[in-house]
Amino acid sequence: KSFGNELSEARFSPIPIMADVYKAVDCSFCHEKDIKWGRFECLVCTDYNLCRKCYDGEQYGGSHRLYHPTQPVLDKEAFFELTKSILKPEDDVDLCCPLCGQRKVGVAKLLQHCLLKHPVDADRIKCPVCVTFCIPQSQDSVFVYKGITNHLQRHHTERGLAFFCDTCDKAPITRNRYMCLICDEYGQCDDCFKGKRLDKKHLPYHPVQVVLPKEDYVAQNPLRETIYRCPFCGEPDFSATDLTNHCHELHLNCRELRVICPICAVCRLPFAEYSLLKDSFVDHLENYHGLLPTGLKPKSGPNECVICLLELAHPSGEYYFRCLHNNFHDQCVQKWLSTNPTCPVCRANRAFVRVLLE
């Protein structure tokens, strides 16, 4: 049975942006505020969510009916655990078929079910995988238009997420992939990266995050955690926590810079779009991965020039670097730049800064 034809005209009303980790969600029945985590979302109604109490009490209203397929959204702790897990457990997540309401564990079993039971699935419904994980990137529509099986194959399977080398067009990349954290959706194969092949878009000083095949991470015992590279200065070998501390300590002035999250790149979540973040990286770490700085030393005493270590009455009046660090004397940084092309605080390359500013 399909529920697509039983909805009212409200279903075809103007479509809002899909719910994400930054959007406040209220219960559509009792109007309880902020039920974003652990709620239940209808897969056929437009923006219809229920809190746990109303869902268990089988409450409904408007165009929503009890027989509509409804997908539970992860709670906050489970969501954060998943979004920073290299060996992701999404195959253990209970998913609801949006066409018949049957429950299947994992994307693979849901896809198999849809292929067998719903070969023609032109109904305008929501993807339970996207709903479960609160898709962070805004999409044009909350509904799947070209069929749920096509959507699952293209966006939530290893085959559908195959990556191509943007330098040599090698497809697909089956071994190590090298993802630029500055360019929008730019990745290289092992041969092009080690051969230092470039194009007009990608430049040699851009920070690059290496992404190993999933089986290589599985084979690591114990799993290595210091694998992330800072997207601002390019410093490597951070754990997720250390990367958070590093960015809060050295790159808080970089909030307006748009970069790609190295944690998202490595974890390769089943719903992530590997494009430049729409919010600041430090905000993304907190809101999307649940990562907050720990153990940072509080700054005390008078400001000092980071180069000569003498007291700094006023920061430099000019920004020499795109990272916006300016806690040095003008004469000190000018002397520094005569022999060092990088920021004395975070080691960001000055050429890299100038190009991106343009």
Position 252 scores a pLDDT of 84
How much is the pLDDT for 54? 95
Per-residue pLDDT averaged across 325-346, rounded?
Answer: 80
Per-residue pLDDT at 322: 60
DSSP class per residue in 77-136: HHHHHHHT-SS--GGGSEEE-TTT--EEESHHHHHHHHHHH-S-----B--HHHHHTT-S
* Higher pLDDT among residues 268 and 103, named by residue: 103
Q: Which of 241, 282, 235, 289 is nearest to 259 (CA)?
A: 282
| Tens digits of residue pLDDT in 216-248 | 777 776 778 889 999 998 899 999 999 999 999
More confident residue, 154 or 90: 154
Q: Which residue has the higher pLDDT, 274 or 10?
A: 274
Which among 55-69, 318-332, 344-358 has the top mean pLDDT? 55-69
Query: Above pLDDT 70, what percent of the chain?
Result: 75
pTM value > 0.75: no
pLDDT above 90: residue 48: yes
Query: Residue 300: is its pLDDT beyond 50?
Result: no
- Tell me the pLDDT band of 275, cut-offs 50, 70 and 90: low
Contact 163, 142 (CB under 8 A): no
Q: How is the chain split into domains, by residue range? A: 4-155, 177-289, 298-358
The SS3 assignment for 183 reads: coil
Residues 348 and 232: beta-carbon distance below 8 Å: yes
Closest CA to 3 of 118, 110, 116, 103: 118
pLDDT 10s digits, 149-203: 888 887 777 654 567 888 887 767 778 889 999 888 788 888 889 998 887 778 8
pLDDT at position 88, please?
62
Residue whose tokens read 């191509």? 164
- Give the residue carrying structure tokens 């709670």: 75
CATH topology of domain 298-358: Herpes Virus-1 (3.30.40)
